[in-house]
Chains A and B, each alone.
Chain A
C-alpha cells in the first residue's frame, strides 16, 4: 500500500530524453492506474469500518487478503514473464483491476469485498511482468536504466496523487464513497484506453530482456530445495517471517489513529499522502546512509522506526503521536523497502536468484497477512491499547531476534563465497 520508489518525479523529467513512445505511454498508463488503485487503498479501511459498520477484526481480514493477494500476484506475474503477447496479458491485468473498482460500488458484504480485493491484486500480478517486458522490448540497451527510472517515477507520482484525489472527493461530496470508487474506475479506464491503442515498438533485437526480467522462467521443486539447503537463507526466512508477523499494516495503524480521534475521519486519506511524502523525502539520504553504514544496520533501523510508529499510536489522540506515527512509518518504508531484496540477492546462486527472491517476498507477504489478521483479532477482543502494546512487545522480540540472527546470515554468506 506504499509508494514504490526507485526514482523521483523530478528525475523522471530529467531522464525522459531519448525514452521511446511506448515507455512514455506505459508510464502514463501506470500513473493513471496508480491514481486509481491508491485512491481506493486510501479509503478502503474507512469504507469497511465506518461506511459498512464492520469491526476492525473484519478489516484485519481484508488487509490480510490484500497482503496475501500480493503473493499470488507475484507468482502469477513470474510465470507470465515470458509470454508471447505481453500487451494482451497486460491489458487483461489492467482490465481485471478496473472491473474490481466498478464492483466495489455495489459491494456491501464482507466476502464480496475480500474477493474483489483479491481479484484486484491478481490483476496487478498479471500485468506487472508483461508490462516490464514491453518496456525492455522497446528500449535500446544503453538507456534501459533511464527507461525504467522514467516509468517508475510516473508510477510513484500516481501513487502520491491517488490519496489526494480521494481526499478531495470525500471533502467535496461528504463521505461519498461510491463517488471515490466511480472516479477510481474512470482513472483505470483512462489507463486502459491509453494502453489498448498503443502499438508496441521493438528496439533492435538483443537478449537484454533476460537481464531486465526479474521473474524466473520455471520453478522446479528441486531448485527450491536447493535454495533451502543454504543455512543463511533459512535464517533470513525466519527473520523475515518474524518481523513481518509483528508488522501492523498501515491501513490498520491509520484506523487506530482515527479511532482515537487523532484525525477527523474525513482527512483519513491524508495519512497515506503524508507517509508517502516522508518516504519520498528520505529515500535518497537513507539510501546513501545504507551504502555507508551497511544494509543490515539500516534494515534493522527500519524496524526501530516502525516501533516508533507504534508508540506514536500509543500516545492516544495526541497530535505529536500522529506525527511520530506517520514519520516513523515513512522512514520504516524507506529503510526496509528493497533492502530485503538487496540483502537476499547475494546469498543466492545466480540461476536461482529470482526464485529465491520471490520465496522471501512471499514469506514477507504471508507474515504481514497473518499479522494483520492477528492485530484485528487482538483489537476486537482485547481493545486497541492492549493490542498495540502486544504488537510493540512482539516487534521488540522480533527486532532483537533478527539482530542476533542477521549476524549468522552474514557469517554464512562469507563462508559460502
Chain B
C-alpha cells in the first residue's frame, strides 16, 4: 500500500514538474514577435496606440491600438520601463553587462534601434520629450524604493540625435532658490517630464528632507525650485497641467495621493484616486491619466479622469503605459 502511495507521490511531483516546464517554455519567448520581422512603419500606421510592458508575456514591449480592445502585439525587447512619443519608443532593459546591468534603448516606431546608452543602477522612470529631441532615465543607484529612508537616484537627460551618447546628469545642474543658485551635493533628482519644443522639463529635486517641484532648463543647466512636496510630475499633452504624487503621510511607509497643479492659475487639488500609488502617471489625453497599481506580483494599468469619477481598470497584467499619438 505504502509502495503505491510512494509511486503515486513520486509520479505526481515528476509530472507536475514536466507540465510546468512545458508551460513556461511554451508561454515564454514563443509569443514574442521578432523585431526584424516587422515591416517599417507598420507600427506607425497603427497610431494612435498604447505602449506598455506586458507582465503576462515575460515583460515584452507591447503595443495595442487605441481605442483599447485590440489584441496585444508583443515585441522582442523585454523592458523594465518604457516610454513613447510620436516618433520613438524608449525601453529600459537588461544589458547583459554584469557591472552595468541596465541600459536604455531608443527605437524608432518601426523598432529600428537608434541608440543604446548604459544606465547606472536599477531603472525607475523613463520619459521621451513630445518633440522627440530628448529622453530621460531615472534609476536607483542605492536603495530600491522612493519609500525607503535612504536611497539615491541618478537622473540623466540624453539627446535622441545619433552620435551624442553622453547624457546630462541632472545632479550637475544648478538649483535656483529665490533667484540664488545653489549646489547640493546630496540632492536627489527624479521623475523628469518634458515640455514640448522648449528644451525645458519639470522634475523632482529632493534636498534638506524636502521634495520640490523644479522647472529645468536644458540649455542653461538650471533647475528653478517651484513648490514643496511634489514627486514624479507628469505634464499634460496641452502643457497646462501637472499631475504628481504628493506625500500625505510621512514615515517608514509613506502614503501618496495624486494631485493636479493647474499651471495657469497655480492652484493644486487632489484627484479622485484614494489609493497610495507609487508611479509617474502618463496622459492618455488632455483629460485622462494612466498609471500602474500593483496587483500581487504583477501590475494593472488604471485610468482616471482628472475631472473626477472613479478610477477604471484599463489593462490587466501591464505597467509603464505610454501613448504613441497620431502623427501630424
Find chain A residues with CB under 8 A from B58 CB. 174
**Do B98 and A190 touch (CB < 8 A)?**
no
Segment from A179-187, A214-222, A241-249, A325-333 that makes contact with B: A179-187
Assembly CA distance A197 to B13 (angstroms): 15
Assembly CA distance A391 to B131 (angstroms): 51
A197 and B2 contact, Cβ closer than 8 Å, known pairs A176-B28, A190-B14, A258-B98: yes
Find chain B residues with CB under 8 A from A174 CB. 28-29, 58
**Do B97 and A259 touch (CB < 8 A)?**
yes
User: Please, what's the 1-or-0 string for A166-183, where 1 marks a CB less than 8 Å from any CB in chain B?
Assistant: 000100111010010011
| Closest-CB distance, B1 to chain A (whole angstroms) | 11
Residues from 190 to 205 in A contacting B, C-beta threshold 8 Å: 190, 193-194, 197
Residues from 22 to 38 in A contacting B, C-beta threshold 8 Å: none
Contact residue among B10, B21, B97, B101 (Cβ-Cβ distance under 8 Å from A190): B10
Residues from 57 to 113 in B contacting A, C-beta threshold 8 Å: 58, 94, 96-99, 101-102
Query: How many residues on the A side are at the interface (Cβ–Cβ under 8 A)?
Result: 26
The chain B residue sitting closest to A46, CB to CB, is B98
Q: Is A53 an interface residue (CB 8 A)?
A: yes
**Do A193 and B10 touch (CB < 8 A)?**
yes
A179 and B24 contact, Cβ closer than 8 Å, known pairs A50-B101, A259-B97: yes
**Do A186 and B14 touch (CB < 8 A)?**
yes
Residues from 14 to 59 in B contacting A, C-beta threshold 8 Å: 14, 16-17, 20-21, 24-25, 28-29, 58
Q: Is A56 an interface residue (CB 8 A)?
A: yes
Q: Is A237 an interface residue (CB 8 A)?
A: no
Assembly CA distance A50 to B98 (angstroms): 6
**Do A183 and B13 touch (CB < 8 A)?**
no
Find chain B residues with CB under 8 A from A324 CB. none
Assembly CA distance A299 to B10 (angstroms): 43
Q: Is A298 an interface residue (CB 8 A)?
A: no
Contact residue among A50, A193, A258 (Cβ-Cβ distance under 8 Å from B9): A193
**Do A169 and B21 touch (CB < 8 A)?**
yes
Find chain A residues with CB under 8 A from B98 CB. 49-50, 56, 255, 258-259, 265
Q: Is A189 an interface residue (CB 8 A)?
A: yes
The chain A residue sitting closest to B99, CB to CB, is A259
Q: Is A384 an interface residue (CB 8 A)?
A: yes
Assembly CA distance A172 to B27 (angstroms): 11
Q: Is B6 an interface residue (CB 8 A)?
A: yes
Find chain A residues with CB under 8 A from B21 CB. 169, 172-173, 179, 183
Find chain A residues with CB under 8 A from B101 CB. 49-50, 53
Find chain A residues with CB under 8 A from B2 CB. 197
Count A-B pairs with CB separation below 8 Å. 63
| Closest-CB distance, B135 to chain A (whole angstroms) | 20
Contact residue among B6, B17, B20, B121 (Cβ-Cβ distance under 8 Å from A193): B6
The chain A residue sitting closest to B142, CB to CB, is A55
The chain B residue sitting closest to A268, CB to CB, is B98
**Do B16 and A186 touch (CB < 8 A)?**
yes
Prevailing SS type, chain A contact patch: helix
Assembly CA distance A255 to B3 (angstroms): 45
Find chain B residues with CB under 8 A from A261 CB. 97
The chain B residue sitting closest to A185, CB to CB, is B17
Assembly CA distance A259 to B96 (angstroms): 8
The chain A residue sitting closest to B9, CB to CB, is A193
Q: Is B122 an interface residue (CB 8 A)?
A: yes
**Do B97 and A179 touch (CB < 8 A)?**
no
The chain B residue sitting closest to A168, CB to CB, is B21
Residues from 141 to 170 in A contacting B, C-beta threshold 8 Å: 169
| Closest-CB distance, A254 to chain B (whole angstroms) | 10
| Closest-CB distance, B277 to chain A (whole angstroms) | 20
Contact residue among B9, B13, B25 (Cβ-Cβ distance under 8 Å from A172): B25
| Closest-CB distance, B7 to chain A (whole angstroms) | 9
Find chain A residues with CB under 8 A from B13 CB. 186, 189-190, 193
Assembly CA distance A182 to B29 (angstroms): 18
Assembly CA distance A172 to B13 (angstroms): 20
**Do A176 and B6 touch (CB < 8 A)?**
no
Residues from 313 to 338 in A contacting B, C-beta threshold 8 Å: none
A182 and B20 contact, Cβ closer than 8 Å, known pairs A53-B102, A174-B58, A197-B6: yes
**Do A50 and B94 touch (CB < 8 A)?**
yes
The chain A residue sitting closest to B100, CB to CB, is A259
| Closest-CB distance, B98 to chain A (whole angstroms) | 4
| Closest-CB distance, A170 to chain B (whole angstroms) | 11
Contact residue among B10, B25, B29, B94 (Cβ-Cβ distance under 8 Å from A194): B10
Find chain B residues with CB under 8 A from A265 CB. 96, 98
Assembly CA distance A173 to B20 (angstroms): 11
User: Please, what's the 1-or-0 string for B115-130, where 1 marks a CB less than 8 Å from any CB in chain A?
Assistant: 0000001100000000
The chain A residue sitting closest to B14, CB to CB, is A190
Assembly CA distance A261 to B16 (angstroms): 36
Assembly CA distance A187 to B21 (angstroms): 13
| Closest-CB distance, A78 to chain B (whole angstroms) | 32
Find chain A residues with CB under 8 A from B3 CB. 197
Find chain B residues with CB under 8 A from A258 CB. 98
Find chain B residues with CB under 8 A from A53 CB. 101-102, 121-122
By Cβ-Cβ distance, the 5 closest A-B pairs, closest first, are A259-B98, A186-B17, A197-B6, A173-B28, A173-B24
Residues of A within 8 A of B (CB): 49-50, 53, 56, 169, 172-174, 176, 179, 182-183, 186-187, 189-190, 193-194, 197, 255, 258-259, 261, 264-265, 384
User: What would be 19 A-B contacts, judged by CB atoms less than 8 Å apart?
Assistant: A49-B98, A49-B101, A50-B98, A173-B21, A173-B25, A174-B28, A179-B21, A179-B24, A182-B20, A183-B21, A186-B13, A189-B13, A193-B6, A193-B9, A193-B10, A194-B6, A259-B98, A261-B97, A384-B99
